[in-house]
Amino acid sequence: QSPPGKPEIHKCRSPDKETFTCWWNPGTDGGLPTNYSLTYSKEGEKTTYECPDYKTSGPNSCFFSKQYTSIWKIYIITVNATNQMGSSSSDPLYVDVTYIVEPEPPRNLTLEVKQLKDKKTYLWVKWSPPTITDVKTGWFTMEYEIRLKPEEAEEWEIHFTGHQTQFKVFDLYPGQKYLVQTRCKPDHGYWSRWSQESSVEMPNDFTLKDTTVWIIVAILSAVICLIMVWAVALKGYSMMTCIFPPVPGPKIKGFDTHLLEKGKSEELLSALGCQDFPPTSDCEDLLVEFLEVDDNEDERLMPSHSKEYPGQGVKPTHLDPDSDSGHGSYDSHSLLSEKCEEPQAYPPTLHIPEITEKPENPEANIPPTVDPQSTNPNFHVDAPKSSTWPLLPGQHMPRSPYHSVADVCKLAGSPVNTLDSFLDKAEENVLKLSKALETGEEEVAEQKGAKSFPSDKQNTPWPLLQEKSPTVYVKPPDYVEIHKVNKDGVLSLFPKQRENNQTEKPGVPETSKEYAKVSGITDNNILVLVPDSRAQNTALLEESAKKAPPSFEADQSEKDLASFTATSSNRRLQLGRLDYLDPTCFMHSFH
């Protein structure tokens, strides 16, 4: 038996920061019943108090309710042990309630497996604060932690979550079972115990389904790709077969032959077409030109001139006869020159035979009309020529006598009365001769004459002379031939025939023969033609002086000599036939 041992205060804890409990360990009891008592005093107070409640918290404990709890004040706590032998006290413990807060674990721990939109699964952990702690009013602020592990594992994985009461855990293995716990701590106290375990099994089917789906998709796509490649390869081969056969196979040969043939034909056609069209056109043009040029140069010249130069076209038509007339003009020049010499030699003799010959002219007129009827072929042959000759003399005859008369008056100075009477007779004779020969031609001549007469009357004598001069130069040979025919029917016919022959022959003999005939006519016409010859001679001289240079004159003289030689032979024949030719021979001798 001894006094009790020294007790020891074990710990003090407050679960809610409103009440707290202290526990102690008793010492030895000394073999006697021992009583324990807890006494405390507060900071700043001298009073000592005893434990308000020894029962609520169990044996060897003291419970301080809200009534006896002060926050932020230090409690000085001591435990005393007492028995019959004596008493002993524990060491004092200084307690600030804010430092001894240890809450209860969180409650309502819930685990839920969720899935995001991208098919990712996670574990959603939720819990609630402990019941007895008043977190809502701010008197308590709590922090939390969670821990989890696979069921078979030993180590926990801890996650601090702060003030929030939920947490998401990712990257967990599918098909695994996980254990989860949570705990809490006030800002200024101790961590609570871990809550009861909750477990959850991650869905294996779900993840497997996902993986299997993806695997299936991959496999199917691979298979499809292979099939496509294979199909393409087959098609490619088929295409190749389509292409290759033409090369070695007979069809290919056939195609080649056909293509070649077609190609050749096309080439030939195209070549022909290309070559033909331009060359054909060119050839045609060339041929046309060639043909036209070679075959019908004259015709081409005429139409070309007419087309290009209508006026000039008309002129050439005139020019062609002009060229012929030019030859005639040369002949007429020679003839006129001869006539000029003749009247100058024998003027008086020429006047007398003219008067005597005039009454014979009408008699001669009748036979010519009969002769043509008897000799139809001859007249047919002569018709075109005769038609030309009469027309021209018809036009020239009425004008020539006037000119001759005027010239005679001027030159001779004879009385006007006699000349007038001669002129009247001459006119009558001319008219009669023209009518008797050809009625149609006469009408034409009359028309032309009628026109000419009024012009002559209206115009002055000098202009008349100027205008008539070229016509006068052309008239003499035609008039001479006509007179011969009229006077001497037989003789006139023969010279005409000879003239025809001469026309076929060179022109030079023609000129000489015409001169001979004219000489005959001149015998009858000397009275009439002498003045014509004079006037013509003067005009010719003037023209020759104006136109002909010395060289041309020399050429003309040479031509005249040639003509003289030819005419000499003709004159011999004529001398045998006609008496009147003799004087002409003399004249030639004079030349």
Partner 1 sequence: ISTCAERDATIQHSLEKLLTLTTFMSHVMSIETAKLFTEFNNQYAQGKRYNDRIPGTCHTAFFDTPVNKEQSLGSDPKTLLKLVRSLLNSWTNALNHLVNEISAMQGDPSFLFSKAREIQAKFDELTTGVKTILSMIGERDNDTHLAWSGLSSLQSSNEDVRCFSFYTLIRCLLRDSRKVNTYLEVIKYQIFNQNNC
Cα–Cα distances in Å, from 249 out to 243, 246, 254, 256? 11, 6, 9, 11
Residues that contact partner 1, how many (by CB under 8 A): 25
Q: Quick check: 73 binds partner 1 (CB under 8 A)?
A: yes
- For the four alpha carbons of 337, 342, 345 and 347, in that order, the dihedral sign comes to negative
Question: Rounded CA gap, 12 and 62, in Å?
Answer: 9
Q: Quick check: 8 binds partner 1 (CB under 8 A)?
A: no
CB of 129 to partner 1, least distance (A): 14
Which of 37, 57, 60, 69 binds partner 1 (CB under 8 A)? It is: 69
Question: Rounded CA gap, 12 and 9, in Å?
Answer: 8
Stretch near partner 1 under the rule CB under 8 A, chosen from 135-143, 199-207, 540-548, 581-589: 135-143
Report the residue count for the chain.
Answer: 591
Stretch near partner 1 under the rule CB under 8 A, chosen from 53-61, 63-71, 198-206, 553-561: 63-71
Beta bridge partners of 124: 112, 168
CB of 127 to partner 1, least distance (A): 21
Q: x/- site string to partner 1, residues 175 to 214, per CB under 8 A?
A: ------------xx--------------------------
How would you write 143-196 as a 3-class SS string? EEEEEEEECCCCCCEEEEEECCCEEEECCCCCCCEEEEEEEEEECCCCCCCCCC
Stretch near partner 1 under the rule CB under 8 A, chosen from 54-62, 133-141, 535-543, 580-588: 133-141
Sequence letter at residue 179: L
Contact 77, 64 (CB under 8 A): no
Q: Quick check: 52 binds partner 1 (CB under 8 A)?
A: no
Q: Quick check: 55 binds partner 1 (CB under 8 A)?
A: no
Contact 11, 23 (CB under 8 A): yes
Q: Quick check: 138 binds partner 1 (CB under 8 A)?
A: yes
Question: Rounded CA gap, 147 and 125, in Å?
Answer: 10
CB of 138 to partner 1, least distance (A): 3
Beta bridge partners of 29: none
Both tokens of 44, joined, read 């700043």
Q: x/- site string to partner 1, residues 78 to 117, per CB under 8 A?
A: -------------xx-x-x-x-------------------
Between residues 133 and 519, which has the closer beta carbon with respect to partner 1? 133
Measuring CA to CA, which residue among 521, 571, 590 is closest to residue 344? 590
Q: Quick check: 13 binds partner 1 (CB under 8 A)?
A: no
Q: Quick check: 137 binds partner 1 (CB under 8 A)?
A: yes
Measuring CA to CA, which residue among 124, 181, 106 is closest to residue 148? 181
CB of 205 to partner 1, least distance (A): 45
Q: Quick check: 139 binds partner 1 (CB under 8 A)?
A: yes
Residue whose entry in the numeric block shows the structure tokens 């389904």: 209
Q: Taking the CB of residue 504, how many other CB atoms lie within 10 A of it? A: 8
CB of 52 to partner 1, least distance (A): 15
Q: Quick check: 46 binds partner 1 (CB under 8 A)?
A: no
CB of 58 to partner 1, least distance (A): 24
Sequence letter at residue 572: R
Which of 46, 47, 55, 66 binds partner 1 (CB under 8 A)? It is: 66
Interacting residues with partner 1 (CB under 8 A) = 17-18, 43-44, 66, 69-74, 76, 91-92, 94, 96, 98, 134, 136-139, 141, 187-188
